[in-house]
Amino acid sequence: MFEYQHQFIQYALENGVLKFGQFKLKSGRISPYFFNTGLFSTGAQLDKLGQFYAQALIASGLEVDVLYGPAYKGIPLAAGTAIAYSQLKADIPFAFNRKEAKDHGEGGVLVGAPLQGKVLIIDDVITAGTSVRESIQIISAAGASVAGVLIALDRQEKGETELSAVQEVTRQYNIPVIAIISLAEIISYIQLNEPDSEKLPIIHAYRQQYGI
Ligand code: OMP
């Protein structure tokens, strides 16, 4: 585990973004943990969150031309990452979509920099991958190529097949999915900091059932 991944989990715990308990997911599964990036909700928190995303992007070595944030949750994430990336590496354009097309003013569903070259999708969590597929269609329709996907957490759960949603996306579109952390890092973090935690067997059982 990289130092920034350890720090990211610590930061998520301190801010109540990573929680343990019983949570119903979009998929209907009852999960022993939940990660809610929406709770990073101050300027300083968005600044720090953007730094983590930018560090993960830099660590991946992926070269991208534009950052794209899918509405709604991806918009502040792409903006925050663009700010942090400009401080750590290079100034980079970003864009996002509207959920409903605007028929006056500048019109259309896309806002910000033109989608051209290699576009990186920035989102929060991938479980089944629904939102990512929609973004890929929007970027392709604009005539640009998808460089990959950058997310905060890969839950490493089975999708419709034995593969995880992230593996399915990687295979279907031949693009990398970069995650700041995955469930594996959350487990390592607990093992390191709370080796006797009662959370561990519960998370292991969940992983046994739904994990890849
Ligand atoms: P997919 O679009 O099916 O991949 O589901 C991802 C979405 O699930 C996220 O964008 C969140 O709305 C939600 N989610 C979380 O935010 N955190 C979690 O830990 C789990 C989920 C989820 O419901 O699966």
User: What's the CA-to-centroid distance between 3 and ligand 1, angstroms?
Assistant: 25
| Catalytic residue (one of 24, 89, 102, 204) | 102
Q: What pLDDT score was predicted for residue 183?
A: 96
With tokens 């693009």, the residue in question is 175
From the alpha carbon of 165, which atom of ligand 1 is closest? 4
Ramachandran quadrant class, 9 (left: phi over 0; alpha: psi -120 to 50; beta: rest):
alpha
Contacts of 57 (CB under 8 A, 6+ apart): 64, 81, 85, 120, 150, 178
Indicate the top mutation candidate among 26, 122, 168 to test ligand 1's pocket, ranked by most ligand atoms within 8 A of CB.
Answer: 26
Contacts of 61 (CB under 8 A, 6+ apart): none
Q: Is the pTM of this model over 0.80?
A: yes
Contact 177, 193 (CB under 8 A): no
Question: Any known ligand binding at 118?
Answer: no
Question: Any known ligand binding at 101?
Answer: no
Q: What is the pLDDT along the chain (212 residues), one digit of tens a residue?
A: 899 999 999 999 999 999 999 999 988 999 999 999 999 999 999 999 999 999 999 999 999 999 999 999 999 999 999 999 999 999 999 999 998 876 766 666 999 999 999 999 999 998 777 788 899 999 999 999 999 999 999 999 987 788 888 999 999 999 999 999 999 999 999 999 999 999 999 999 999 999 98
Q: What pLDDT score was predicted for residue 130?
A: 75
Task: In whole angstroms, give the CA distance from residue 144 to residue 184.
Answer: 33
Contact 151, 126 (CB under 8 A): yes
Q: What pLDDT score was predicted for residue 105?
A: 65
The strand pair at 66-69 and 94-102 is best described as: parallel
Contacts of 161 (CB under 8 A, 6+ apart): 168
Ordered alpha helix ranges (H), 61-125? 74-88
Strand-pairing partners, residue 102, are 108
Sign of CA dihedral 179, 184, 48, 127: positive
Nearest Cα residue to 110 out of 87, 132, 142? 142
Q: Is the CB of 84 under 6 A from ligand 1?
A: no
